[in-house]
Chains A and B, each alone.
Chain A
Amino acid sequence: MGDIFADYDVLGAVWVTIQLSILGSIGALILGTIVAVLRVSPVAVLRGLGTSYVNTFRNLPLTLLMVFSILGLSFILQLSVSDDFARNAFWWAAIMLAVYHAAYICEALRSGVNTVPVGQAEAARSIGLGFGQSLREVILPQAFRGAIAPLGSVIIALIKNSTVAAVIGVGDSAGLLQVITENEGASLPTFFFFAMVFVVLTLPIGLWTTSLSRKLAVKR
């Protein structure tokens, strides 16, 4: 186990996992919020657009999206993000993580909207607030508080799914575990080390979002 750190760039691989997780989370949060606004908007076309986005990306395997981004989009449709092969794979992995999890972020936000009682929106409208105003001032502040726990679960899932990038040759934790296992044979300590990386990355997020969701819960 000790030689593993000397012979392989273990921390580098963990750092790639962290980078993918952060970039993917930022992208997914932005894109997911946009899709969520589309899904609750009063315009049927925009609502349909949001719904089909969610139905498409929630039902596709992330592996397919990743593989397609390299073999389909980069090689055949010439949509490269970077001329360097490794950078290109890395950025496509981050983009696909964001695109895939945006569908789940959207659903988490919508579940937050669903925790707001009907009376809140009715009260907002009865004092003369319009759609945008009641969304901004009354619904969304409560909805975000209700959505913290599910949002935390989505981010945790994203961190774990960042390993799928290994399938397209990004040297992240799963990719390095594969290389080490192929070269050195099965070593449980090595597996536990990488497994613990994910426990350490995800556990604080779970605890933090749970306590935050309790602290910020709207008393009803």
Chain B
Amino acid sequence: MSTQAVLFDAPGPRARLRHRILTAVGAILVIGIAYVVYLQFQKAGQLKAFMWEPFVTDPDVWTSYLIPGLKGTFTAAGISIVLAVVFGLLFGMGRLSPFAPLRWFCSVIVEFFRAVPVLLMMVFAYFGYFATSNLVPNQHAPLAAVVTALTLYNGAVIAELVRSGVHGLPKGQSEAGLSVGLTSGQVLRSIQLPQALTAMLPALVGQLVVVLKDSALGYGITYLELLNWSKTLGSAYANTVPAYIVAGILFIVINYTLTRFAVYLEGRMKKRRARA
């Protein structure tokens, strides 16, 4: 049900008046919140020009702090999403296997990693293994822990996407494959998976947003991503609050763009399906 069109009628004179009053109340609310924020910032001396100007005037803010931060965030998220797709495909296929023990094993793994908080895995991987051993070069230990945790969690989520994508296909697809003599493994690989992967593309882009946001958890284990760099930026320029606000805006812009892209992909797919 498209919410806006049907929940209410075209307003009559009395409803229009009521809406106007509510509009005024809403506007006062918004202005009121903005004013309280402004007062609080003013009182704490957070509106001084030297705190905000560097973001425009000093290229150093970007080249030495924010861009390395973004690079850290994107590196962790990029590696994790690729590995998570591999993990998800393997375990998603495992859960669809006709061989029951393999199916159970994959189900247990997937359900376990979906239920465990990402930070728990990250902390354990970092302090338990990567920081104290030579599995990876020392300077890459935080990155390795971030990637491990993000891969396991998101891989499990993607495995579920794969499974539900295959289950969502019409039964005729696999029946047609079986009837021309393909084995069930061949049906899965050459008929069901390609269709399921296309269908889950929007959800995959949506998952990328989750990975980007969760990579900020690396802050807790000294991984140098955007949040950590903004903290350093805040101490260097004595503008902690503005630094976090700018970092927040960067996160919002990136993730919002990705979300819109996912919505666009979904719409395009729906259209294509309607034509087919």
Contact = CB atoms under 8 A, between A and B. Distances in A.
User: Which secondary structure dominates chain A's binding surface?
Assistant: helix
Interface in A84-119: 110, 113-118
User: Which secondary structure dominates chain B's binding surface?
Assistant: helix
A46 B28 CA distance: 11
Candidate in A161, A167, A185 with the most chain B CB atoms within 10 angstroms: A167
Given A45-B27, A113-B1, A177-B124, A198 B46 contact: no
A64 B247 contact: yes
A72 interface: yes
Nearest to A179: B127
B11 interface: yes
A181 B124 contact: yes
Q: Which 3 A-B pairs have the closest CB atoms?
A: A186-B128, A61-B216, A45-B26
Contact of A76 (B116, B129, B240): B240
A174 B240 CA distance: 26
Contacts of A185: 128, 132
Candidate in B43, B219, B254 with the most chain A CB atoms within 10 angstroms: B219
Interface string B142-180: 000000000000000000000000000000000000000
Interface string B92-125: 0000000000000000000010011111100110
Given A46-B26, A59-B252, A195-B116, A118 B217 contact: no
Interface residues of A, number: 65
Contact of B214 (A42, A61, A67, A75): A61
B8 to A, nearest CB: 4
A177 B11 CA distance: 58
A161 B217 CA distance: 10
Contact of A195 (B3, B43, B112, B217): B112
Contact of B23 (A43, A134, A181, A187): A43
A44 interface: yes
A71 B128 contact: no
B251 A61 contact: yes
B115 A203 contact: yes
A129 B247 CA distance: 47
Given A63-B227, A161-B117, A202-B115, 15 more contacts: A40-B3, A59-B256, A61-B216, A64-B227, A67-B227, A71-B231, A71-B234, A76-B46, A77-B44, A167-B217, A167-B220, A174-B117, A181-B127, A195-B115, A203-B115
A178 interface: yes
11 contacts: A45-B23, A56-B252, A58-B259, A68-B244, A78-B44, A118-B6, A177-B123, A194-B120, A195-B115, A198-B120, A203-B115
Contacts of B136: none
B22 to A, nearest CB: 4
A62 interface: yes
B50 to A, nearest CB: 15
Given A43-B19, A64-B251, A72-B244, A77 B41 contact: yes
Contacts of A62: 213, 216
Interface string B1-23: 11110111101000100010011
Given A77-B241, A121-B6, A63 B220 contact: yes
Candidate in B2, B244, B247 with the most chain A CB atoms within 10 angstroms: B244
B133 to A, nearest CB: 9
Contacts of B1: 113-118, 120-121
Candidate in A59, A71, A117, A135 with the most chain B CB atoms within 10 angstroms: A59
B120 A42 contact: no
Contacts of B123: 166, 174, 177-178, 181
